[in-house]
Amino acid sequence: MDNQNILDEVFNKLFNGASVFKDREVLRHDYLPERLPHREEQIRRLGEAVAPVLKGSRCSNIFVYGKTGTGKTAVTKYVLSRFEAKAKEINAPVGFCYVNCRLAGTEYRVLSSLCQSVRLFVPFTGLSAGEVFDRFRKGLDELKTIFIVALDEVDALVKARSDILLYELTRVNETLSRSKVSIIGISNDLRLKEFLDPRVLSSLSEEEIVFRPYDASELRNILFERAQVALREGALSEGALSLCAALAAAEHGDARRALDLLRVAGEVAERKGVSVITEEHVREAEKLIEHNRVVEALANLTLHSKLVVLSVFHMVKANGYRAVTGEIYEVYSELCNELAVTPLTQRRVSTLVNELDALGLLNAQVVSMGRYGRTKKIRLEITRTLIKEAFSNDVRLGRLVDYEPKCLSKDAGGRD
DNA sequence: CGTCCACAGGAATGACGGGCGG
DNA sequence: CCGCCCGTCATTCCTGTGGACG
């Protein structure tokens, strides 16, 4: 088949073939649907909380928490957009801004988003954080408005830096004469409260809204509603729907997960030229998502992190038991020599291992071997094939996958 | 029951590139 | 162009520690 024909086939499949999608976008988790099933309570409470702003008084600060995929962001955005519409309708002097702290990344960038929301533009960098905050405060005061700041994933901000920004924000009202600020803090981590300065905590959680995980039947309803819009009639089998819901329910009731599964399963079905999504497609989607996640994570690592992964891989392959820090560092150093790169210190490698653990690429566990010290036993969570695939665009690294470290071949395995 | 291994992991500090105002 | 302030990565130095061994 020549190139032209391949493409003909691909395109024809798209138009004539068994398409399962009506509107694929609806299954993306950043899509904001018309209705949010099983979140009536939260919508009502958040609505009640922000309502006073429409009548000109500041609302309580609100602390929203719940695990990922429980609808916190969707509900907040939903309520805020309705709130905005209402404000326009009755011509109330209100404003709001929504910032995702994890996506923003740093305290500085969060501040810069805040500035933009009061129509102040600040440089990407160069100013001190305090200066940016001052500008925000001034700009806000000029607007003579009641302002709601929604900080999504605040936990990322607090853990990475500290809670000074939150602290400053909670007391900014004291220095504003013509405007007022309320904060909606959204957190994935239920334990965030423990990290917060008690002063911040008490003022931030004047009001608290908890998002419980969805159970399987709730997820099923959510998926069903979305599928009505996203998929062609009859494109979703009963079994596939239930399986998506069940798998996501098992994973802390994560609606995001459920939507991903369904979308990818639909893509799988479509690629096979089938018009109905079956349980088998969902199973395949599950594998595919995990596969992509891992390969992408691996490919985006820094050189040294990749070398650490390779070191663990070689250790485990040669000795068949879980590798310990010291041995990994030996192999790692040798691999560095192979590439003529100066190795990092063991201390640094230790934190790299922790990062890889957090990414789910490794499994590291501190164990004490009594007389023989205290170390970390490290297991690989991924297969050779995945490593090969992820490192394939770098020839030198690809070579190292099949390299046999000298420090391993010599003493032909240790104890255990 | 104390010792002592082989690290863990916190704190302080430095090196470096980007990007600003002046 | 300089000096300054970031944020990020890395090093150095350090104190802490579970439990088998003696």
The answer to whether some atom of strand B lies closer than 7 Å to the beta carbon of A120 is no
> At residue A308, does pLDDT exceed 90?
yes
Tell me what percent of the residues of chain A surpass a pLDDT of 90. Answer: 41
Q: Does domain A301-411 have CATH number 1.10.150.20?
A: no
Report residue A406's pLDDT band, with 50, 70 and 90 as the boundaries: confident
Question: Which nucleotides of strand C come closer than 7 angstroms to any CB of the protein?
Answer: 3-14, 16-21
Rounded to whole angstroms, the distance from the CA of residue A106 to the C1' of nucleotide C10 is 20
Please tell me the total number of residues recorded for chain A in this structure. Answer: 416
pLDDT at A179: 83
Q: Does domain A3-23+214-297 have CATH number 1.10.8.60?
A: yes
Question: A164-184, pLDDT tens digit by residue?
Answer: 677 777 777 777 778 888 889
DSSP state string for A149-207: EEEETHHHHHHHS-SHHHHHHHTGGGG-SS-EEEEEEEES-TTHHHHS-HHHHHHHTTE
Rounded to whole angstroms, the distance from the CA of residue A91 to the C1' of nucleotide C19 is 70
pLDDT at A104: 67
Superfamily covering domain A40-211: P-loop containing nucleotide triphosphate hydrolases (3.40.50.300)
Rounded to whole angstroms, the distance from the CA of residue A352 to the C1' of nucleotide C11 is 14
Question: A237-267, pLDDT tens digit by residue?
Answer: 889 999 999 999 998 889 999 999 999 999 9
pLDDT at A171: 76
Mean pLDDT, chain A, whole residue set: 85
Tokens representing residue A5 in the block: 């024909």
Report residue A128's pLDDT band, with 50, 70 and 90 as the boundaries: low
The answer to whether some atom of strand B lies closer than 7 Å to the beta carbon of A370 is yes
- Residue A150's φ and ψ, nearest 5 degrees, are -100, 115
Interval A384-406 mean pLDDT: 90
Question: Which nucleotides of strand B come closer than 7 angstroms to any CB of the protein?
Answer: 3-11, 18-21
- Which pTM value belongs to this model? 0.76
> At residue A416, does pLDDT exceed 90?
no
| Domain residue spans of chain A | 3-23+214-297, 40-211, 301-411
- Residue A374's φ and ψ, nearest 5 degrees, are -125, 130
